[in-house]
Amino acid sequence: MLKTISSREVYRNPWCSVREDVTEREDGTRGIYGVMDKHGACIVVPLEHTLEGDFVWLVRQYRYTVGASFYELPQGGWETDDFVPEELARGELKEETGLSAERMTHLGDNWIAYGAIRQLHSVFLAEGLSAGETERDPEEFDMTVHRVSVQEFEAMILDGRVMDNCTIAAWCMYRLRKEAGK
């Protein structure tokens, strides 16, 4: 167990802050731990059930940090921790895809990259989808929306077109709950 000796904020913007903590181990040795704090977020599994089969709605966008575009589930957060998770999930779904959902089911929560970031992701299943207009942020100017079969989506995970760990974890959570009948 690490004990925090001191903590200081070294950077802040509207989306995150970074702090540097001086820590002490049980044997008395000290170290430094860098932590990025981010507001809570959500990720949505938009699932459409049809006579032809089940389909997942994805977005594709450029991610500056890795210098490439990838497919992922709709996700994001607001610049506050004062929100109702389902409202955030509905808002992100509408903002990024234009979709609205009759039913939102909370599947659980996951920490995002908790080795370096303190941010909780609420995972929701969205069903009973209806189309509408997107309401994207300026940073999402290049985002595109894609409807793919469940089989194609899982192939995309396996072949690397989907590399977002949050998308893969959310899908795993959905599949495990489905298989368990929950």
Confidence of residue 152 (pLDDT cuts 50, 70, 90): very high
Amino acid identity for residue 158 in this structure:
L
Whether the predicted pLDDT of 99 surpasses 90: yes
Residues 48 and 69 in one domain: yes
- If asked whether residues 83 and 167 sit together in one domain, one would say yes
Domain contains 90: yes
* Inside any domain, residue 75: yes
| Domain-embedded: residue 13 | yes
Same domain, 143 and 174: yes
- The answer on pLDDT for 73 being more than 90 is yes
For residue range 9-37, list pLDDT tens digits in order. 999 998 899 999 999 999 999 999 999 99
Residues 97 and 151 occupy one common structural domain: yes
- 86's torsion region: left (phi>0), alpha (psi -120 to 50) or beta? alpha
pLDDT at 105 over 90: yes
How much is the pLDDT for 79? Answer: 81
In a domain, 111, yes or no: no
In the chain, the number of structural domains is 2
What CATH number should be reported for the domain holding residue 147?
A: 3.90.79.10
What H or E segment, with its residue span, contains residue 81? none
Q: Within this chain, do residues 26 and 94 fall inside the same structural domain, yes or no?
A: no
- Give residue-wise pLDDT tens across range 106-146: 999 999 988 889 999 999 999 999 999 888 887 778 899 99
DSSP symbols for 153-174: HHHHHHHTS---HHHHHHHHHH
- Do 10 and 98 lie in one domain? The reply is no
Strand partners, 103: 127
Q: Is residue 113 part of a domain?
A: no
Domain-located, residue 114:
no
Sign of the C-alpha dihedral computed for residues 82, 85, 87 and 89 taken in this order? positive
Share of the chain above pLDDT 90, in %: 81
Residue 115 lies in a domain: no
Share of the chain above pLDDT 70, in %: 100
Same domain, 31 and 50: no
